[in-house]
A and B are shown apart, each in its own frame.
Chain A
Amino acid sequence: MRLRHKNLLGIKDLTAEDINLILDTAESLKEVSTRDIKKVPTLRGRTVVTLFYEASTRTRTSFELAAKRLSADIISIATSISSVTKGETLKDTGKNIEAMNPDIIIIRHPHSGAPEILARSLRPAIVNAGDGAHEHPSQALLDLFTIREKKKRIAGLKVAIVGDITHSRVARSDIYALSKLGASVTLVGPATLIPVEIEKMGVKVSYRLEDVIPESDVIIMLRIQLERITQNLFPSIREYSRIFGLNSEKLKNAKKDLIVMHPGPINRGIELDPEVADGPHSVILEQVTNGIAVRMAVLYLLLGGKEESELTN
Chain B
Amino acid sequence: MAFIEKRELLNSQSVERAITRITHEILEKNKGALNLALIGIRTRGVFLTKRIAQKIEDIEKVKVPVGIVDITLYRDDIGRTEAHPMLQKTEIPFSVTDKTIVLVDDVLFTGRTIRAALDAIMDLGRPRFVRLAVLIDRGNRELPIQANFVGRELPTTREELIQVQLMEADGIDRVVLGEEKK
Say yes or no for A167: interface residue by CB 8 A criterion.
no
Instruction: Check A25–B82 contact: CB distance below 8 A.
Output: no
Mark interface residues in B5-49 (1 if CB within 8 Å of A CB, else 0). 000000000000000000000000000000000000000000000
- Across the two chains, which residue of chain B brings its CB closest to A304? B78
Say yes or no for A29: interface residue by CB 8 A criterion.
yes
- B87: chain A residues at CB < 8 Å are 1, 24-25, 28-29, 300
B83 interface neighbour in A29, A35, A41, A307, Cβ under 8 Å: A307
Say yes or no for B79: interface residue by CB 8 A criterion.
yes
Say yes or no for B181: interface residue by CB 8 A criterion.
no
- B82: chain A residues at CB < 8 Å are 305-307
Instruction: Check A40–B89 contact: CB distance below 8 A.
Output: no
From 64 to 96 in chain B, residues with beta carbon under 8 angstroms from any chain A beta carbon are 70, 72-75, 78-91
Given known contacts A2-B83, A304-B79, A306-B80, A41 and B73 CB-to-CB distance under 8 angstroms:
yes
Interface size in chain B (residues, C-beta < 8 A)? 24
B62 to chain A, nearest CB (A): 27
Say yes or no for B119: interface residue by CB 8 A criterion.
yes
- A32: chain B residues at CB < 8 Å are 73
- B70: chain A residues at CB < 8 Å are 28
Say yes or no for A193: interface residue by CB 8 A criterion.
no
Interface size in chain A (residues, C-beta < 8 A)? 25
Instruction: Check A28–B89 contact: CB distance below 8 A.
Output: yes
User: Majority SS of interface residues in chain A?
Assistant: loop
Say yes or no for B124: interface residue by CB 8 A criterion.
yes
Say yes or no for A90: interface residue by CB 8 A criterion.
no
- A25: chain B residues at CB < 8 Å are 86-87
- Across the two chains, which residue of chain A brings its CB closest to B75? A42
- A303: chain B residues at CB < 8 Å are 78-79
- Across the two chains, which residue of chain B brings its CB closest to A307? B82
B88 interface neighbour in A28, A42, A306, Cβ under 8 Å: A28
Say yes or no for B142: interface residue by CB 8 A criterion.
no
- B119: chain A residues at CB < 8 Å are 41
B73 interface neighbour in A42, A46, A307, Cβ under 8 Å: A42
Chain B residues within CB distance 8 Å of chain A: 70, 72-75, 78-91, 119-120, 123-125
**Could you list 7 examples of A-B contacts with CB < 8 Å?**
A2-B84, A31-B91, A42-B72, A46-B79, A305-B83, A306-B79, A306-B82
Identify 16 new A-B residue pairs, CB closer than 8 A, beyond the known A41-B73, A306-B81.
A1-B86, A24-B86, A24-B87, A25-B86, A27-B89, A28-B87, A28-B90, A31-B89, A40-B74, A41-B74, A42-B72, A42-B78, A300-B73, A304-B79, A304-B84, A305-B84
Chain A residues within CB distance 8 Å of chain B: 1-2, 24-25, 27-29, 31-32, 35-37, 39-43, 46, 70, 300, 303-307
5 tightest A-B CB contacts, nearest first: A40-B73, A42-B73, A28-B89, A305-B83, A28-B87
